[in-house]
Amino acid sequence: MVRLFGTDGVRGVANVDLTAELALDLAAAAVEVLTEGRAPDAGRPLVVVGRDTRPSGQFLEAAVIAGLASCGADAIRVGVVPTPTVAHIVAATRADLGVMLSASHNPMPDNGIKLFAAGGHKLPDEIEDEIEARLGAPRRRRPTGGDVGRVLDDPAYIAGLIDGYVAHLLSTLPVRLDGLKVVVDCAQGAACVLAPRVLREAGAEVVPLNADGDGQRINDRSGATHLDSLRAAVLEHGADVGIAHDGDADRCLAVDATGEVIDGDQIMAVIALAMAERGELADGRVVVTVMSNLGFHQAMRQAGIEVLATPVGDRYVLAEMRRTGAALGGEQSGHIVFLRHATTGDGLLTALTLLGRVRETRQPLGELAEKAMTRLPQVLVNVRGVDRSGVTTSARLQAAVADAEAELGEDGRVLLRPSGTEPLVRVMVEAPTDAQARAVATRLASVVEAELRR
């Protein structure tokens, strides 16, 4: 049976896979599970509900709130805000649950439901499994009369909560951003209002891009997964830096003044070195996923910083950070977590921290990134229509990997990763030159195809 929850909540085509009925049932099941054992006199559970700009977010929001209210929970409806804003408000209001309606970087027909427990933390697998097991079951509590849940959406109250989040972000800056010109690509998503506002209040001159809030165009050739328009805008406006968010603004990638892309590994390298310099890197370690570039590992080793690697997915990075007490972690894709200031990846916080380092050092972003690490050429090949389970059992494939690793030595890396959702195997190779990386990746992909073809 396919698990309902993926690596970051529940996603699917809105009104096909992710229906109003499922959203209502999921919200009700979640509030039941997360408030189990609550004292009878503790009052109604409190839930924060936010969404991105997708049109389907409106009916899914209504369904979620209906499910919550039917179980006696009050819903704080914060409207269109980034995912990390919901997590922050959950913690600030001491709410029992947070619900964010977004499919992150996915295209517009999709939508999703992300859940946060008390404190603004993502749910562990076992809690998600328990919620999934409750779907379709009779509700354990159906209050009536004055005991049903209410919707809390007074504009002044909601504005105050959001202002609190903005003030929190600005409080993390070591210096103001006066003198920096920044293009910020909001991907027509949840960052459209807050990202330009935060940067302006921090002192930057801001050029908003893809910031109309048109949810029908969310992530459409824009944002963190499509950087060409941002690169062009940075050059056109003579900006110092370009910042790109995804649909729900938990990611941040950057572009320097020359139009060169600065990915999540490079951003983390710049920030890790700055934090180490200030004594803010807990126990001198950072947490990344297995996909992080070998150049990042080499740069951190040279700086005396320990690198811990997890499976792909920011939830695994977060779990390892909480286990080890690491202050910084993230993914090459731009999900970066600052555990001192946030409980989840926060693209706006990442942007402020990176820009703060640029302003503090008075060095161009490109120079900072170049000094922080040398990014090795990385080639990724997806081999489709194969038996994923054979990755660990095929003797010929293991021999081919061993030969490739011997060829690359300490100057390269090979990673074969079965997809968690599709019948494909991802072949990733890093090497000193792009030509060598492509040659090794092509050779390994052909062995995967021959050995594991279904």
Q: What is the 3-state secondary structure (H, E, C) of 8-47?
A: CEEEEEECCCECHHHHHHHHHHHHHHHCCCCCCCCCCCEE
DSSP 47-114: EEEEE-S-THHHHHHHHHHHHHHHTT-EEEEEEE--HHHHHHHHHHHT-SEEEEE--TTS-TTEEEEE
Catalytic-role residue among 56, 70, 102, 104: 104
Q: Which residues pair with 251 in a beta bridge?
A: 335
User: What does the block give as tokens for 424?
Assistant: 């494909």
Task: Confirm if 448 and 383 have CB atoms less than 8 A apart.
Answer: yes
Residues 6+ apart with CB under 8 A from 16: none
Instruction: Give the helix/strand (H/E) hosting 447.
Output: helix 434-452
Q: Which residues pair with 74 in a beta bridge?
A: 46
Q: Is 104 a catalytic residue?
A: yes
**125: three-class secondary structure by DSSP:** helix
Task: Confirm if 224 and 112 have CB atoms less than 8 A apart.
Answer: no
Alpha carbon separation from 153 to 50, 82, 117, 167 (Å, rounded): 11, 17, 21, 21
DSSP 178-210: TT-EEEEE-TTTTTTTHHHHHHHHTT-EEEEES
Residues 6+ apart with CB under 8 A from 263: 253, 332, 333, 334, 375
Task: Confirm if 360 and 352 have CB atoms less than 8 A apart.
Answer: no
418 phi, psi to nearest 5 deg: -65, 140
HSE of 447, CA atoms in CB hemisphere, 13 A: 21
**438: three-class secondary structure by DSSP:** helix
309 phi, psi to nearest 5 deg: -110, 140
Which stretches within 96-179 are classed as H helix? 125-134, 155-171
Residues 6+ apart with CB under 8 A from 98: 47, 48, 49, 50, 86, 87, 89, 90, 115, 116, 117, 120
Catalytic residues: 104
